[in-house]
């Protein structure tokens, strides 16, 4: 049987049937380190947990668990990989202070980032083009001011935030980086199309998970990991969110953790703006630029952060130089209404809209409506 002390004992405790976070904390409070738990008598354990769980703790680890521990220790021995437990001095202080910190987490990359000032950026997986641009722009601006971003590496807003931070870092525009909190084991990249992004995050930032190696993409794991996304950060920025979405779960968790919540407003006609508007009504700070976030975080800084360059501070805007964009405004609009508004027949209008779409100045939304991006 494998030796069961140090990281091995922590993995065994985390994976023992019936032992969740609350039970593990009770046991650690009474017995101290996990190896002390496993050397305790069934009678002593039974005073803290049920007889069934006590029996699971004193039983020899199953062959599957022994194999998992062996694979995990081998993984942790590879360069850049770590297992961080509640007993480690460098466990991130902000994360330690949430009501339910993970018993341990697995990390790839620069774990020193985890204890530094960060902002979580979250939002819809089905992000609009404008939303993705906003996420990239805000992330790059925060990175240029020395802050790190935290997100969940999902499609849409999460991926855009990670990309914006990495692009700014690699362009030498700041010292901030990015942290991905994933809902699978770290030996699995999910979604698979983010594989290249995952490799870049590991190389230049950090990726963490509380789930054991080999854990697949189970839907229930993703809302649970959101407490870690907000728990690592001093504040959470919601870029786009529907009224019922995982992003609002993250925002609510951030509030419960005593952290700041920020939201970017949008069109009253956009379903992806309704969640942000709801947060603003509930007390989240409306933000229009990265500077709005930096000002809120000033009390937590040892020294003032440099402001982002003027061109990086705001959501993307540009002189439109096109009368059709003026006629569109900023709300989604259908071709018939736009035709009547600007006096163009549908044939000419469609041609101009296609040109603007190819230039990245207009996007087509579901329902064959159009929205101005610049």
List Cβ neighbours of 307 (8 Å cut-off, separation of 6 or more).
145, 291, 294, 313
What are the pLDDT digits (tens) for 136-183?
999 999 999 999 999 999 999 999 999 999 999 999 988 999 999 999
230-240 confidence digits (pLDDT tens): 999 999 999 99
- Domain residue spans of the chain: 1-70, 111-313, 323-372
Between vectors from CA 139 to CA 136 and to CA 144, what angle results, nearest 5°? Answer: 120
pLDDT tens sequence across 282-299: 999 999 999 999 999 988
Look at residue 316 and tell me whether its pLDDT is greater than 60. no
Residue 217: predicted pLDDT: 96
**What average pLDDT does range 221-235 have in this prediction?**
97
Q: What angle do CA 43, 52, 55 make, to 5 degrees?
A: 55
Q: What is the mean pLDDT of the chain?
A: 91
Could you give phi then psi for residue 278, rounded to 5 degrees? -65, -40
Which of 127-141, 146-160, 339-353 is predicted least confidently? 339-353
Residues contacting 278, CB < 8 A, separation 6+ = 243, 248
State the Rg of the chain over Cα. 24
Topology alike, domains 1-70 and 111-313: no
Question: What tokens does 354 get?
Answer: 């296609």
Contacts of 178 (CB under 8 A, 6+ apart): 139, 143, 148, 149, 150, 151, 161, 162, 165, 166, 169, 201, 204, 205
- The confidence band for 197, taking pLDDT boundaries of 50, 70 and 90, is very high
Q: pLDDT > 70: what percent of the chain? A: 93
Fold classification of 111-313 is: Rossmann fold (3.40.50)
**Average pLDDT score over residue span 201-227:** 97
Residue 305: pLDDT band by 50, 70, 90 thresholds? low
Average pLDDT over residues 307-315: 53
The residue that leads in pLDDT, 344 or 80, is 80
Residue 122 CB: number of other CB atoms within 10 A? Answer: 31
pLDDT of res. 310? 53
Q: Say if residues 56 and 13 touch (Cβ distance below 8 Å).
A: no
**Cβ atoms of residues 121 and 151 within 8 Å:** yes
* pLDDT of 319 strictly over 70: no
CATH number at 323-372: 1.10.10.10
First CA to last CA across the chain, in angstroms?
64
327 compared with 250, residue with greater pLDDT:
250
Question: Any idea what DSSP says for residue 112?
Answer: G
Closest CA to 323 of 348, 349, 342, 338: 342
Residue with tokens 């993703």: 222
Q: So what's the pLDDT on residue 299?
A: 82
1-70 folds as DNA polymerase; domain 1 (1.10.150)
Contact 316, 164 (CB under 8 A): no
CA 219 – CA 221 distance, rounded (Å): 5
Count CB atoms within 10 A of the CB of residue 181.
26
């Amino acid at each position: 049987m494998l030796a069961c002390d140090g990281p091995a004992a922590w993995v065994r405790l985390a994976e023992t049937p019936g032992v969740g976070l609350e039970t593990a904390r009770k046991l650690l409070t009474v017995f101290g380190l996990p190896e002390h738990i496993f050397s305790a008598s069934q009678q002593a354990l039974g005073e803290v947990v049920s007889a069934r769980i006590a029996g699971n703790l004193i039983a020899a680890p199953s062959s599957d668990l022994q194999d998992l521990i062996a694979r995990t220790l081998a993984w942790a021995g590879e360069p850049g990989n770590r297992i961080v437990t509640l007993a480690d001095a460098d466990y991130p202080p902000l994360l330690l202070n949430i009501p339910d910190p993970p018993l341990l987490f697995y990390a790839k990359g620069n774990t020193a980032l985890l204890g530094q000032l960060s902002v979580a950026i979250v939002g819809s997986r089905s992000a609009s083009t404008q939303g993705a641009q906003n996420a990239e722009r805000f992330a790059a601006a925060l990175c240029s001011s020395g802050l790190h971003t935290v997100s969940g590496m999902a499609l849409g807003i999460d991926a855009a935030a990670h990309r914006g931070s990495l692009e700014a870092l690699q362009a030498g525009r700041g010292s901030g980086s990015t942290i991905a909190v994933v809902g699978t084991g770290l030996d699995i990249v999910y979604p698979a199309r983010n594989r290249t992004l995952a490799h870049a995050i590991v190389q230049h930032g950090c990726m963490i998970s509380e789930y054991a190696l080999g854990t697949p993409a189970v839907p229930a794991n993703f809302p649970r990991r959101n407490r870690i996304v907000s728990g690592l950060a001093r504040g959470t920025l919601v870029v786009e969110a529907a009224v019922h979405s995982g992003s609002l779960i993250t925002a609510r968790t951030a509030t419960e953790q005593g952290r700041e919540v920020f939201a970017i407003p949008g069109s009253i006609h956009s379903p992806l703006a309704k969640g942000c508007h709801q947060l603003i009504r509930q007390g989240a700070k409306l933000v229009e630029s990265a500077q709005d976030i930096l000002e809120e975080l000033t009390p937590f800084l040892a020294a003032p952060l440099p402001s982002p360059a003027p061109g990086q501070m705001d959501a993307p805007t540009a002189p439109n130089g096109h009368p059709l964009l003026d006629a569109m405004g900023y709300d989604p609009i259908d071709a018939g209404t736009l035709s009547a508004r600007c006096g163009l027949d549908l044939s000419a209008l469609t041609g101009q809209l296609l040109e603007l779409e190819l230039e990245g100045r207009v996007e087509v939304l579901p329902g064959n409506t159009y929205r101005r991006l610049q």
